[in-house]
Amino acid sequence: MNAAVPFQAMAGAMPPQDLPQAQEPSAARRAGEVILDVKNISLAFGGVKALTDISFDVREHEVRAIIGPNGAGKSSMLNCINGVYQPQQGAITFRGQTFTHMNSRQVAEMGVARTFQNLALFKGMSVLDNIMTGRNLRMKSNLLLQALRVGPALREEIRHREFVERIIDFLEIQAHRKSPVGQLPYGLQKRVDLGRALAMEPQVLLLDEPMAGMNVEEKQDMCRFILDVNDEFGTTIVLIEHDMGVVMDISDRVVVLDYGKKIGDGTPQEVRSNPEVIRAYLGGEH
Ligand SMILES: Nc1ncnc2c1ncn2[C@@H]1O[C@H](COP(=O)(O)OP(=O)(O)OP(=O)(O)O)[C@@H](O)[C@H]1O
Ligand SMILES: [Mg+2]
């Protein structure tokens, strides 16, 4: 994502509030190069097989959903991609470079950011300072210079704060910029978490249930922001979501997991009519 231009360009150019209608993926998305390649990933915790031989790819600029019943392995998959978990088998490559044994910071530095199923924000800190933590990765001055706030460190901090202000404008949370995050409604806290991830200027954004616990209006807002990030900045999105309406509406392709295995992969329409997927969701086993 180009840092300066898109956020400025976004100001005052928001699309309508309504959820977008289901669409065929655009030609650009269909033709996108593979940016993230997950090959034969297996992950176990003692005797619990969280993931078994999972393979799928993510193309540049697409919205790729991961769905599946509770405990299917969705969050574990994101944790493998962003270096929180080290899978016992398989490989993950990003633009041809292998990720598998990198830690979270190294993965983030390569351009992959994420939000968390359970918010990982500093509740007592302001919205602005929370989003600023996403910029740490991009700070060049050492900690001492930052603490003293002198010379180049001060100029750098000003630049980063300007960037964060643009994210705050983009996410329409200007009125809350100085509020402690813990005092905001849950839907806005999720938006701040998205802002923190955007502050890292990711090429790929991993979203773990960004709409969980939201009311309809908050979900519509979050869908709009996700699609705006995808459209305006070209950011590739990998999205875990339980709300099937949202998945069908905003994703280009969907991976379906069940008990740690992949049982479906295709367009929303293909996945919706896949008998194994229907059985997993309707079979009553979960
Ligand atoms: N750190 C861990 N230690 C032990 N077991 C774990 C750990 N993380 C996940 N698991 C197990 O791995 C399996 C997959 O869990 P995961 O959280 O990835 O599922 P999920 O699809 O994200 O579920 P949900 O929809 O409830 O968020 C579960 O059986 C879970 O208990
Ligand atoms: Mg999960």
Confidence of residue 2 (pLDDT cuts 50, 70, 90): very low
Q: Which residues surround ligand 2, an ion (CB under 5 A)?
A: 74-75, 117
How many CA atoms, within 13 angstroms, populate the side-chain half-sphere of residue 39?
A: 14
* Distance in Å, CA 76 to ligand 1 centroid: 6
pLDDT of residue 147: 63
Looking at 211-215, 225-229, 253-257, which range is the least confident one?
A: 211-215
78/80 Cα distance (integer angstroms): 5
Looking at 8-17, 88-97, 150-159, which range is the least confident one?
A: 8-17
216/282 Cα distance (integer angstroms): 24
Nearest CA to ligand 1 atom 4: 45
**What are 243-267's pLDDT values in tens digits?**
989 999 999 999 999 999 999 999 9
Q: Which ligand is nearest to the CA of 255?
A: 1
Show the CA angle centred on residue 254, arms to residues 252 and 257, nearest 5°. Answer: 170
Nearest CA to ligand 1 atom 11: 50
Beta bridge partners of 51: 43
Confidence of residue 17 (pLDDT cuts 50, 70, 90): very low
pLDDT of residue 150: 61
On the question of pLDDT at 14 being above 80, the answer is no
Q: Which ligand is nearest to the CA of 71?
A: 1
**What are 114-124's pLDDT values in tens digits?**
988 777 788 99
Nearest CA to ligand 1 atom 31: 71
| Atom number of ligand 1 nearest to Cα 69 | 25
Give Cα separations from 49 to 42, 43, 75, 230 (angstroms): 8, 6, 13, 33
**Parallel/antiparallel/unpaired status of strands 34-45 and 48-59:** antiparallel
Q: What is the mean pLDDT of the chain?
A: 84
| Atom number of ligand 1 nearest to Cα 257 | 21
Q: Return all residues near 137 (Cβ < 8 A) that are at least 6 apart.
A: 105, 108, 109, 200
* Distance in Å, CA 257 to ligand 2 centroid: 11
Nearest CA to ligand 1 atom 1: 45
Full-model pTM: 0.85
- Count the neighbouring beta carbons within 10 Å of the beta carbon of residue 243: 16
**What are 88-110's pLDDT values in tens digits?**
999 999 998 887 778 888 899 89
* Distance in Å, CA 2 to ligand 2 centroid: 30
Ligand 1 pocket test: pick from 74, 76, 244 the residue with the most ligand atoms within 8 Å of its Cβ: 76
pLDDT of residue 228: 95
- Are the C-beta atoms of 262 and 54 separated by less than 8 Å? yes
**What are 160-184's pLDDT values in tens digits?**
889 999 999 999 999 999 999 999 9
Nearest CA to ligand 1 atom 2: 45
Q: Which ligand is nearest to the CA of 74?
A: 1
| Over residues 7-33, mean pLDDT | 45
| Over residues 149-161, mean pLDDT | 76
115/239 Cα distance (integer angstroms): 10
| Atom number of ligand 1 nearest to Cα 46 | 4
Instruction: List, chain by chain if needed, residues with CB within 6 Å of any ligand 1 atom.
Output: 45, 48, 50, 68, 70-76, 117
**What are 21-78's pLDDT values in tens digits?**
444 555 545 558 999 999 999 999 999 999 999 999 999 999 999 999 999 999 999 9
